[in-house]
Amino acid sequence: MITAPAKQSVPMLKMDNISKYYGGEETLAPLSLSINKGETVAVIGPSGAGKTTLLNILGTIVQPDRGQVLINGMSSKNLKPGRQLSRMVGVMHQQLDLIGQLSVINNVLAGRLGEWGLLRSLLSLIIPQEKALAVKALERVGIPEKLYQKTSRLSGGEQQRVAMARILVQQPQAILADEPISSLDPTRAVDILSMLVNFSRENGQTLVVSLHSVEYALQYFNRIIALRHGKIFFDRPANQVTREDMDQLFQIEEEANERCKPWPA
C-alpha cells in the first residue's frame, strides 16, 4: 500500500540567514530559526543580546540588512501593511504604544485599525465601532469597568491589560511581546504572563515573548531560544534546559573581568 507523505505544515514564523547591523556593529549575526503554529517561545539572553531586534524583525517593524523573514510562508516584504499584516502578527511593545489621552475603549479598538479603512477608524474615535468586541476583551483581561476611562489615569498593570485587550481584539495568528512584564511587580507579572500564555493557547496562536526572567521563561513556555551577542546560543524545549546552560548564557565576559581588575600597585 502506498501511503501519502505526511503533510508538512508551514512554519508560522521563519528567519533565513538574517543579519542586522547598527553603526557598523553586528547586532544579529546570520541567524535562522523556525517557529511552528501554536508554539509558545521565550527569547532570553543578556542585555544587548538582540532580543528586541529579533522581535522587531519578526514583526516587520525593523528591516534586516540581509536574509528574509517568512510569515506563514509569505515573505514579509510581500505582506501588505493593514489587514493582511495585522491578521498575521500583533506586536506588544515594551512601551505598550497606548495613547494616554484617549479612553480605554479607543485604545482597545485600535486593534481593529488594520481591518478598518481610514474613515471607519476616524469615525470610531467619535462613535466607537464594534464596541461589543472591546467590552468582551476588557472582561477577559479583568477590567471591564475601565471602558470609558482616560488611559493615562490607569496604573501600569492596568495599561498592560489594555494592551492585551487590544491584541485580543486584533486576533493575529502570531503574537510577539517584547518584555511584557518588565515594569510590573512579581504578582502582576505572573498575572499578565499567565493570561498572555493562556489566551494564545486557547486561540491556537503562536506566541513569542522576550523575557529577562529565566524563571518565568522556564515555567510558562514550551521552547526557549537563548541569544548571546546576536547569535543563537541554544534553542531547545524548556524541559531540556539545564542550570549549566543558563550559567553559560549569562556568564560575565572574561574581558569585562579584565577591565575590572584593580590598578597594579
Binding positions for ligand ATP, rule: CB under 6 A: 22-23, 27, 45, 47-53
Q: How far is the CB of 30 from ligand ATP (least distance, A)?
A: 16
Residue in this structure with the C-alpha cell 517593524, named with its chain if needed: 61
Task: Tell me, rounded to whole angstroms, the distance of Cα 173 from its chain centroid.
Answer: 12
Q: How far is the CB of 233 from ligand ATP (least distance, A)?
A: 12
Q: How far is the CB of 55 from ligand ATP (least distance, A)?
A: 8
Q: How far is the CB of 71 from ligand ATP (least distance, A)?
A: 20
Q: Is the CB of 22 or the CB of 148 nearer to ligand ATP?
A: 22
Measured CA to CA in angstroms, residue 52 lies from 61, 73, 143, 221 at distances of 11, 23, 28, 18
Spatial separation of the C-alpha atoms in residues 34 and 206, rounded to whole Å: 12
Q: Is the CB of 27 or the CB of 86 nearer to ligand ATP?
A: 27
Q: Is the CB of 23 or the CB of 264 nearer to ligand ATP?
A: 23
Spatial separation of the C-alpha atoms in residues 164 and 191, rounded to whole Å: 12
Residues 54, 230, 22, CA angle at the centre, nearest 5°?
80
Q: Is the CB of 51 or the CB of 93 nearer to ligand ATP?
A: 51
Nearest CA to 85 among 176, 16, 200, 218? 176
Q: Is the CB of 52 or the CB of 160 nearer to ligand ATP?
A: 52
Q: How far is the CB of 22 from ligand ATP (least distance, A)?
A: 3
Cβ within 8 Å of residue 16, ≥6 positions away: 32, 67, 68, 69, 70
Q: Is the CB of 8 or the CB of 47 nearer to ligand ATP?
A: 47
Spatial separation of the C-alpha atoms in residues 167 and 72, rounded to whole Å: 19
Q: How far is the CB of 94 from ligand ATP (least distance, A)?
A: 8
Measured CA to CA in angstroms, residue 60 lies from 45, 80, 132, 146, 252 at distances of 21, 11, 30, 32, 32
DSSP 12: S
